Amino acid sequence: MTTFQTINPTTGEPISTYHEMPFKETKKIIDVTHQAYLQWKKVPIAEREHLMKKVAKYLLDHKEEYATLITTEMGKTITSARFEIDRCIRICNYYAEHAHQYLSPHIVNTEMKKSYVTYQPMGIVFAIMPWNFPFFQVFRFGAPALMAGNACILKHAPVTTGCALAIEKIFQAVGFPDNVFRVVIANNETAAEIIADPHIIGVSLTGSVRAGKSVAATAGAHLKKVVLELGGSDPYLILEDADLALAAEQCVKSRLNNTGQVCIAAKRLIAVEAVRPEFEKKVIEKVKECRFGDPMDPAVTMGPMARADLRETVHKQVQECIEKGAELVMGGEMVSGSGFFYPPTILKNIKPGMPAFDDEIFGPVIAFIDAKDEQEAIRIANQHPYGLAAAVFTQNTERGEVVAKQLEAGTCFVNQFVLSDPRLPFGGIKESGFGRELSAEGIREFVNIKTIGVK
Whole-number mean pLDDT of the chain?
98
User: What's the DSSP call for residue 278?
Assistant: H
The bridge status of strand 200-206 relative to strand 225-229 is parallel
According to DSSP, the β-strands at 365-371 and 345-348 are: parallel
pLDDT at 96: 99
- pLDDT confidence of residue 110: 98
Share of the chain above pLDDT 90, in %: 100
Phi then psi for 347, rounded to 5 degrees? -120, 135
CB 149 within 8 A of CB 43: yes
Please answer whether residues 434 and 227 qualify as being in contact, where contact means their C-beta atoms are separated by less than 8 angstroms. Answer: yes
Res 132: pLDDT:
99
Minimal CA–CA distance to 321: which of 349, 297, 290?
A: 349
Whole-angstrom Cα distance, residue 176 to residue 353? 51
Confidence of residue 1 (pLDDT cuts 50, 70, 90): confident
Considering only CA atoms, which of 424, 433, 339, 422 is closest in space to residue 385?
Answer: 433
> Mind telling me the catalytic residues?
229, 263
Residues with Cβ within 8 Å of 278's Cβ and at least 6 positions away in sequence, in order, are 244
Q: Where are the domains of the chain?
A: 3-230+430-454, 234-414
Please write the tens of the pLDDT for every residue from 327-368.
Answer: 999 999 999 999 999 999 999 999 999 999 999 999 999 999
Q: What is the mean pLDDT of residues 22-45?
A: 99
| Residue-wise pLDDT tens digits, 282-333 | 999 999 999 999 999 999 999 999 999 999 999 999 999 999 999 999 999 9
pLDDT per residue as tens digits for the range 81-138? 999 999 999 999 999 999 999 999 999 999 999 999 999 999 999 999 999 999 999 9
Cα–Cα distance between 447 and 230 in angstroms, integer? 22
- Model confidence band, residue 11 (pLDDT cutoffs 50, 70, 90): very high
pLDDT tens-digit readout, 47-87:
999 999 999 999 999 999 999 999 999 999 999 999 999 99
0.85 exceeded by pTM? yes
Contact 81, 171 (CB under 8 A): no
Pick the CATH number of 234-414 from 2.40.50.140, 3.10.450.50, 3.40.309.10, 3.40.640.10: 3.40.309.10
Q: What is the pLDDT of residues 388-433, one digit of tens each?
A: 999 999 999 999 999 999 999 999 999 999 999 999 999 999 999 9
Task: Kindly report, residue by residue over 239-286, the tens digit of the pLDDT.
Answer: 999 999 999 999 999 999 999 999 999 999 999 999 999 999 999 999
Domain covering 3-230+430-454 in this structure, CATH number: 3.40.605.10
Judged on CB neighbours under 10 Å (0-12, 13-18, 19+), 415 is middle
Query: How far apart, in whole angstroms, are the C-alpha atoms of residue 244 and residue 281?
Result: 10
Vertex 173: Cα angle to 191 and 24 (nearest 5): 25
Buried b (16+ CB within 10 A) or exposed e, 179-203: bbbbbbbbeeebbbbbbebebbbbb
Q: How far apart are CA 85 and CA 223, in angstroms?
A: 35
Of residues 311, 301, 300, the one with CA closest to residue 339: 311
Share of residues in the chain with pLDDT > 70 (%): 100
